[in-house]
């Protein structure tokens, strides 16, 4: 069995250092360049994507009943890919069986497997970019960056934080208290990391990997089996991630059901039944606020993490660098065609205008400054 932890230790150490310093650092290049990923990487990724169209998705996971799949590219064609359907009870049972050995593995083993999964996902970033582009409608470069390296960085960050927490205290200690003339009191102490339970990742239709990887890799690193429930409109990106995870788990000697895909349909959703199952210990949800409210009302025993609708206003109160401010705002508004949930949505300016290094600026002057910077 390959020593994945040793192979990726330098990456993990660098990620932990970046988490502690909070400075800029990235393990995965965001530029879709042939000089970085291989001169034929773009063509190979597109060919691999096209080879998936119109047929069952190759996934070594049992299914029940008719397969699922109705994804349509926003660029004008159905993907025609189908995925194995699996009911809630078999998913939970398989995760429970596979999760026992995974929970017993050391933090080093689990981190090594997670890092190898991320390395292979990075290698396949061009394939993932096509999958993201043709399920979410993002432009290719946006799909590559946000769905590939940026998402991988978020997964790595989750592994780094988890590993740092699990290893910062000793797993065993000898506790000795002097008792004067009497013999000392001795205690041999041991601590064992206990996973919380099966993790459930409920994916979204806009940024399926960027929002899905943190929960997936945090749960994996801390010893929890994971069920990945993609949005029906964007199954392919997370199916690719699950396929890669299962391959690495198998190579490492684990049951691949440590990570399972749980696709569903708009007509017959299974997220609610999964989220409220007593075996689920963690729920990671990204999506609309309506189901987010439902989860908060009904998920009682599991740890629940949600990311819902975002409102990102900017209050312009003044600036010592008017042109720089306008350039920054123009860049933020135009970045990724304004599709990111973090893009500014409303700009608020005082009725009397603002003070700047170029004098007082009215609302119209600010708007003109931003327009000129685009």
Average pLDDT per consecutive 10 residues, the chain (374 residues; last block may be shorter): 90 96 94 94 97 97 92 97 96 98 96 98 98 96 96 98 93 91 92 93 96 98 98 98 98 98 96 98 96 96 91 92 96 79 87 96 96 90
The residue ranges of every structural domain in the chain are 4-21+42-167+192-307, 313-373
Is the Cβ–Cβ distance between 310 and 342 less than 8 Å? yes
For the chain, the helix, strand and coil percentages under 3-state DSSP, each to the nearest 5 = 50, 15, 35
Q: Which two tokens stand for residue 84?
A: 């194995």
Who contacts 267 (Cβ-Cβ below 8 Å, separation ≥6)? none
Q: Tell me how far CA of residue 184 lies from CA of 127, 187, 367, in angstroms.
A: 63, 10, 76
The dihedrals phi and psi of 188, each to the nearest 5 degrees, come to -100, 110
pLDDT of residue 310: 75
Give one DSSP letter per residue of 109-173, joined into a string: HHHHHHHHHHHHHHHTHHHHHHHHHHHH---HHHHHHHHTHHHHHHHHHHHHHHHHHHHSS-SEE
The label of the residue with tokens 């990570």 reads 259
Could you give the CA distance from residue 355 to residue 362 in angstroms, rounded to a whole number?
A: 9
Fold of 4-21+42-167+192-307: Aldehyde Dehydrogenase; Chain A, domain 1 (3.40.605)
- DSSP assigned state of 341: T
Could you give the CA distance from residue 2 to residue 7 in angstroms, rounded to a whole number?
A: 9
**Of the candidates 261, 255, 223, which has an alpha carbon nearest to the alpha carbon of residue 242?**
261
**Of the candidates 251, 4, 271, which has an alpha carbon nearest to the alpha carbon of residue 112?**
4
Parallel, antiparallel, or unpaired for β 354-356 and 359-361?
A: antiparallel
Could you give the CA distance from residue 365 to residue 29 in angstroms, rounded to a whole number?
A: 38
Number of neighbours of residue 159 by Cβ within 10 angstroms: 30
Is the Cβ–Cβ distance between 353 and 362 less than 8 Å? yes
Could you give the CA distance from residue 306 to residue 326 in angstroms, rounded to a whole number?
A: 33
In this structure, what is the dihedral angle of CA atoms 345, 207, 304, 166, given to the nearest 10 degrees?
-120
pLDDT of residue 174: 93
Task: Report the residue count for the chain.
Answer: 374
Is the Cβ–Cβ distance between 73 and 132 less than 8 Å? no
Give burial (CB, 10 Å; 0-12/13-18/19+) of 367: middle
Could you give the CA distance from residue 196 to residue 225 in angstroms, rounded to a whole number?
A: 10
Q: Tell me how far CA of residue 185 lies from CA of 55, 97, 152, 256, in angstroms.
A: 68, 41, 49, 46
pLDDT of residue 170: 87
pLDDT of residue 2: 75
pLDDT of residue 1: 56
Q: Tell me how far CA of residue 295 lies from CA of 224, 238, 261, 341, in angstroms.
A: 20, 22, 20, 21
């Amino acid at each position: 069995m390959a020593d994945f932890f040793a192979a990726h230790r330098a990456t993990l150490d660098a990620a932990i250092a970046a988490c502690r310093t909070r400075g800029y650092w990235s393990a995965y290049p965001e530029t879709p360049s042939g000089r970085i990923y291989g001169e034929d990487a773009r063509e190979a990724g597109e060919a691999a994507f096209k080879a998936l169209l119109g047929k069952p998705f190759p996934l070594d996971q049992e299914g029940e009943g008719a397969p699922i799949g109705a994804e349509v590219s926003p660029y004008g064609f159905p993907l025609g890919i189908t995925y194995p359907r699996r009911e809630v009870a078999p998913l939970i049972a398989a995760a429970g069986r596979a999760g026992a050995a995974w929970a017993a593995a050391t933090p080093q083993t689990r981190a090594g497997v997670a890092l190898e999964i991320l390395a292979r996902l990075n290698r396949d970033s061009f394939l993932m970019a096509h999958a993201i582009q043709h399920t979410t409608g993002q432009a290719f470069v946006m799909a590559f960056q946000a769905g590939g390296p940026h998402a991988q960085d978020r997964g790595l960050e989750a592994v780094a934080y988890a590993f740092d927490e699990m290893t910062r205290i000793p797993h065993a200690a000898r506790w000795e208290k002097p008792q004067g003339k009497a013999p000392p009191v001795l205690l041999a102490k041991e601590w064992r990391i206990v996973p919380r339970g099966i993790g459930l990742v409920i994916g979204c239709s806009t940024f399926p990997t960027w929002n899905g990887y943190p929960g997936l890799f945090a749960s994996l690193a801390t010893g929890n089996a994971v069920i990945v429930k993609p949005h029906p409109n964007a199954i392919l990106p997370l199916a690719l991630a699950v396929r890669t995870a299962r391959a690495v788990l198998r190579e490492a000697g684990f049951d691949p059901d440590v990570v399972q895909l749980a696709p569903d349909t708009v007509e017959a959703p299974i997220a609610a039944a999964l989220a409220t199952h007593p075996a689920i210990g963690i729920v990671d949800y990204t999506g609309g606020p309506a189901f987010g409210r439902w989860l908060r009302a009904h998920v009682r025993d599991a740890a629940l993490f949600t990311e819902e609708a975002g409102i990102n206003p900017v209050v312009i109160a003044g600036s010592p660098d008017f042109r720089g401010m306008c350039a920054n705002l123009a860049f933020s508004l135009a970045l990724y065609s304004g599709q990111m949930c973090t893009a500014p949505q409303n700009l608020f300016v005082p009725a009397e205008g603002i003070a700047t290094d170029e004098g007082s600026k009215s609302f119209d002057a600010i708007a003109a400054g931003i327009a000129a910077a685009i």
